[in-house]
Structure 1
Amino acid sequence: MSGLVVEVVGLRVEVGRALVDGVSFGVGAGEVVAIVGASGSGKTTAGLALLGEFPVGAAVSGDVRVRGRVGYVPQHPGAVLNPVRRVGAVLRELATGAEVERAVEAARFPRALLDRYPHQLSGGQQQRLVLAQALLGDPAVVVADEPTTGLDRETRDEVVAEFASIVARGVALVVLSHDMEVVRALADHVVVLRAGKVIESGPAAELLTAPRHPYTRALLVEPLRAAANEAISTERLRIEGLTAKHGRNVVLQDIDLRVSAGECVAVMGPSGSGKTTLARCVVGLHPPSAGTVALDGRPLARTLRSRSRQDLAAVQYVFQDARASFDHRRPVLDQVARTAARLRDMSTADSESAALAALAEVRLAEDTARRRPTTLSGGELHRAALARALLARPRVLVCDEITTGLDAVTRTGVLRLLAALRAAHGLTLVLITHDHAVADHLADRVLTLHNGLVHNGHSRIGNP
């Protein structure tokens, strides 16, 4: 199987007509394959084939090989939960107490809820419960069929984080979905089905940013800008008349900028144009000499020390040099967790749990996060820095040249991650960059600075 946990080759399932026709894909340990397409495209048939389940009377050909057990998370968790049994009792009938403990911990299902009936659980709690059930027996792969259907944005984000967490433990994941925000947040590889046939497949970083087939482009609907379109009329960040100095030198003069909720604005210009100073003024690291920075219509204090804990959390900054932003003597996990302790008033145990979930969302494994920064790559530290900022649950995320110095592969990964996080969280992004490719991939608008002045105002970026 060439190291693959799952290998599907030329799968055809026919019941009067072909439900899937010549479908092939593979999944390695700790990898995520998303099978996407409209209703009736064959996603569920392909996914259930991994469990050896096919429609009654189906003619099946091709090969489906799985190394290890398969867990299954159905589209509607209520359909597989016994309404008259307490959920913990059902789990303990299926596995030993130790196995149940491991499964509920991996799925982050609260132990205090094990004595409840299914109807006493929220949609997100039910989804975590069926995930725990799927994890009983340590499966090699989990198949999740439309796992976020019907969930609100916040609950959906929580469920996505749970899946990211189990993938970080080495479990392979096959996601069947039409929710492209979920796909962007999780997938390493995407298989696009239409009427049972694979019309396009490839690494998610490539397929989601440069789809070849018109059907795929229609499914994506400009994915990198979708979050901004949801609330483009709602102002999140306003900068008016901002002037800043370094000593006696004026480095920014009378800057105005308005950014909507969920929008991404790139601030560009040559070195020395004032880009980083503008970013530092927004987050309170550099006090302006004139002008205001307002969040949701409310002026922010000029310095970090004067801002409330709520305002500190609301506007987060990811530095250009991720390595320099970490204390080299302390494990990365401890430094990420400190954000939850300081800005969300969490206990030590809870802040570590929240940090692990945030790190899993950016695909940083726990064993890696427990190491010191000097042992991590530049890309890994950029992801850790993003997790640290996201742990504060910001409304505005300012990223300062975060792809500078990265190789092409790592840089693509960081861009893909930013797009996925924006889609998943509805973040307002301010990107400080000199790289037009970064702006082209992510930004809705560009503000160009030159010698501390707005050079050409806002310009709309064309489709990538």
Structure 2
Amino acid sequence: MNPPVNPPMKSPVDENRVIATVTALTVEVDGRALVDRVSLRIRPGTVTALVGASGSGKTTTGLALFGEFPSGARVTGDVTVHGTRIGYVPQHPAAVLNPARRTGALLQDMARQQVRDLPRSRRRAAARQRVMEALADAQLSRSDDVLRRYPHQLSGGQQQRVVLAQALLLGARVIVADEPTTGQDALTRRRVVDQLAAVVRRGIAVLLLSHDLDVVRELADEVLVMRGGRVVEQGPAHRILDAPAHPWTRELLAAPRTLPYADPERTGSEVLTVSGLTARHRTGGARVPVLSVDRLTLRSGECLAVVGRSGSGKTTLARCLAGLHRDHGGQVLLDGTALPRSLRDRSRGQLAAVQYVFQDARAAFDEHRPVLDQVARTAVRLHGAGRPEAAAEARRVLTDLGLDERLVRGLPGRLSGGELQRAALARALLARPRVLICDEITSGLDPVTRRSLLDLLAGLIRGGNGMGVVLITHDLDTAAPATRVAVLDGGEVVEEGPRGQILTAPRHPFTVSLLDASQRGRTAARP
């Protein structure tokens, strides 16, 4: 069904009218139920939130509104969309943007389809006006600048808003938002919340798939809590979030970790020192400075959290420390000795001493080789261990991290995101590092898995082997138990010091704004 040429932008909202329903939906693949008898109703101008751990069935349920199911799935139940269009904003918006076309050209083509019934003389101006309105509705500023760029030249948040603009341009009255705040700092997350709230005020319904309970608390009218494909609790958001009845809901809502990751009395000497570091990226043939750090240190047995908004330089700093970003000046010292800029020039001992755990654990594993073999290879490559000895050590470490041997003998696709992060930690630990760099390792994990992983990290730091940890994170709750905190903004360290000072008495305006955005997100609730 095509939407009208001029759909009403601000019409009265009848919240009793149902515009999409899912009834007793069951989706099975190879005899395993991904979704088990799920039912929900979507009404105009409301937010329905599906919350739960990774693999609980949220995305499968959301995609069912489009009639999309996994290959080979057996589907029963009923999905009905009542005469409206549905838009989808995925967790990784770049995947649905054409990398070869500028944003403006793509949106203009879509807009021209919507105004094709107008006289030819009016079509161009009308199409441009629609594009501008859609960008404004999606909370995009400096519209003309965005229109000239290719998708790879946009930030993740801008890409997300462009995808939302596409959906609004096509007249979508239901938006499925899949983990829209995953990997976002507090300021960007605040903007996403405002953006979705503005869409809802126009009478558009939002199906929010999220494990970010602060965002759910701000936006949702109704909440469905999922576990293992089933809805274990469902009802008005205020009741579910303030007085949960099911034990799993209570576990999801449990407070974040507050105990320190490290024991201050067991902190040793400086193991890593950054001095006069200036990193650059190549853009259009030019080398553009993106990071400048005068001095930053890490002591053995401590945890240094590096926080800041997306694009502030956190990951670039981490990659410089690990030898993954070679275009930089200054020095990175390990125990007082300069490390080569590129890992290719580092000795086996230096490679073992500084280990990196990536944000996307799934992409860091070869999907065609058993997890156990990939973890064991670290001991073979960096310590010259024999294969039987390396395999035995890998099994021991993986078991200590809570991974069953039968599971890790299989391919990475059999493991959940949290399980793969544990396997990635095990692989790094087999190197017996002096410095462990953890780059957003909790991003994309549900609260229960996140707490479990952070407790595990704390146990590793407190284990008495003197390992220091650099924890890159956008989440201030994750940073709070660190020994010290460094705040990056615009590629510079604007504030650094003990966690108590930075997180309770910040001096820099950016740190203040970051904490304020995080606190508002934690305490705000939609009336």
Provide the TM-score with structure 2 as the length reference. 0.45
Match of 1:436 in 2: 476
Q: CA deviation at 1:208?
A: 11
Amino acid at match of 1:332: V
User: Is residue 396 of structure 2 the alignment partner of residue 357 of structure 1?
Assistant: yes
Change (3 A) 1:252 1:223: closer
Change (3 A) 1:404 1:223: closer
Q: CA deviation at 1:209?
A: 4.9
Quote the Cα distance in structure 1 between the aligned partners of 2:333 and 2:498: 22
Q: CA deviation at 1:256?
A: 1.4
Match of 1:378 in 2: 417
Partner of residue 366 from structure 2, selected from 320, 327, 330: 327
Match of 1:132 in 2: none
Q: CA deviation at 1:446?
A: 0.8
User: Is residue 286 of structure 2 the alignment partner of residue 225 of structure 1?
Assistant: no
Match of 2:447 in 1: 408
Match of 1:269 in 2: 308
Quote the Cα distance in structure 2 between the aligned partners of 1:358 and 1:207: 28
Partner SS, residue 225 of structure 1: coil
Match of 1:7 in 2: none
- Listed as ranges, the matches of 1:195-206 within 5 Å are none
Quote the Cα distance in structure 2 between the aligned partners of 1:207 and 1:451: 31
- Listed as ranges, the matches of 1:206-225 within 5 Å are 209=257, 224-225=261-262
User: Is residue 306 of structure 2 the alignment partner of residue 249 of structure 1?
Assistant: no
Quote the Cα distance in structure 2 between the aligned partners of 1:304 and 1:279: 13
CA contact (8 A) 1:263 1:444 kept: yes
Q: CA deviation at 1:324?
A: 0.5
Match of 1:393 in 2: 432
- Listed as ranges, the matches of 1:23-422 within 5 Å are 209=257, 224-226=261-263, 228-232=264-268, 234-247=269-282, 248-422=287-461
Quote the Cα distance in structure 1 between the aligned partners of 2:277 and 2:364: 26
Amino acid at match of 1:225: A
Partner of residue 453 from structure 1, selected from 477, 480, 492: 492
- Listed as ranges, the matches of 1:16-27 within 5 Å are none
Q: CA deviation at 1:459?
A: 4.3
Partner SS, residue 355 of structure 1: helix
Q: CA deviation at 1:404?
A: 0.3
Q: CA deviation at 1:207?
A: 11
Amino acid at match of 2:347: S
Amino acid at match of 1:438: T
Partner SS, residue 325 of structure 1: coil
Quote the Cα distance in structure 2 between the aligned partners of 1:372 and 1:257: 39
CA contact (8 A) 1:448 1:458 kept: no
Quote the Cα distance in structure 2 between the aligned partners of 1:314 and 1:379: 25
Q: CA RMSD in A?
A: 2.3
Match of 2:189 in 1: none
Q: CA deviation at 1:416?
A: 0.6
Change (3 A) 1:255 1:271: farther
Unaligned runs of 5+ in 2: 1-250, 505-527
Quote the Cα distance in structure 1 between the aligned partners of 2:314 and 2:388: 38
Instruction: List 4+ stretches of structure 1 deviating above 4 A.
Output: 206-210
CA contact (8 A) 2:271 2:335 kept: yes
Q: CA deviation at 1:231?
A: 2.8
Amino acid at match of 1:229: E
After superposition, give the CA deviation of every residue in 1:264-300 in whole Å (9 maximum; x if it has no partner): 1011110110000000000100014210000111111
After superposition, give the CA deviation of every residue in 1:229-264 in whole Å (9 maximum; x if it has no partner): 3134x1111000001011122111244101111111
Q: CA deviation at 1:390?
A: 0.3
Quote the Cα distance in structure 1 between the aligned partners of 2:314 and 2:257: 26
CA contact (8 A) 1:379 1:406 kept: yes
Provide the TM-score with structure 1 as the length reference. 0.51
After superposition, give the CA deviation of every residue in 1:115-138 in whole Å (9 maximum; x if it has no partner): xxxxxxxxxxxxxxxxxxxxxxxx
Partner SS, residue 493 of structure 2: strand
Partner SS, residue 289 of structure 2: strand
CA contact (8 A) 1:242 1:288 kept: no
Unaligned runs of 5+ in 1: 1-202, 211-221
Change (3 A) 1:209 1:412: closer
